[in-house]
A and B are shown apart, each in its own frame.
Chain A
């Protein structure tokens, strides 16, 4: 399909394990965003990239979270030493062109992370 693809769709991990979540943006989209959505809440911003540059990581909740987009397309969000409070849906979004502001952000269906 032509949309944002996230994998895995579901991830269960034990507390203390490391996890990696993948996002494949829409082809040609320059900007890529990660959001965290707790149950019954709105998405909360984590970080965003323009091509391979991470321009804003102000929403990452701790140094256990980091994201990368080494070639400016696929991105990985990594969470080290997971805690129960990390349980949430992690959403990825992409948009076409950073040079034009207010481009629509297109979301994937997310990865539901459960920490036991």
Chain B
């Protein structure tokens, strides 16, 4: 059972465009939603995170939009650059109990120059 569903699997965007990656979840006990960026041969690096009491969070060119009623959240990358080409993972964590993260399957983003 996949607890966090991520789409699309791959995405190609032109330089300067907007990249949008979507995630959906079923478990209403999730209360923390981070996004990670991973380059080949490297570990995931935290980009930005949001809690369900906030509908949007922006850090630089990266924005998370959160829709609690729809149980969906998305990452928007504005003014996408070739250096943004990487695999992006959404994740979620349960309130209370273990601090473990549940990850989506990832989106491979390619930004063409």
Contacts and interface: CB of A to CB of B under 8 A. Distances in A.
Interface of A: 4, 31, 33, 35, 40-45, 48, 55-56, 58-59, 91, 93, 95, 98, 101-110
Given A42-B104, A104-B46, 15 more contacts: A41-B105, A42-B105, A43-B44, A44-B103, A48-B99, A55-B98, A56-B100, A93-B43, A95-B99, A101-B32, A105-B34, A105-B46, A106-B46, A109-B41, A109-B42
Interface in B77-113: 89, 91, 93, 97-106
A31 B89 contact: no
Contacts of A59: 100
A40 B40 CA distance: 11
B106 A102 contact: no
Q: How large is the interface on B (under 10, 10 to 19, 20 to 34, 35 or more residues)?
A: 20 to 34
A48 B49 contact: no
A104 B49 contact: yes
Contacts of B102: 45
Closest 3 CB pairs of A and B: A42-B103, A107-B43, A56-B98
A41 B100 contact: no
Nearest to A105: B101
B54 interface: no
B99 A31 contact: yes
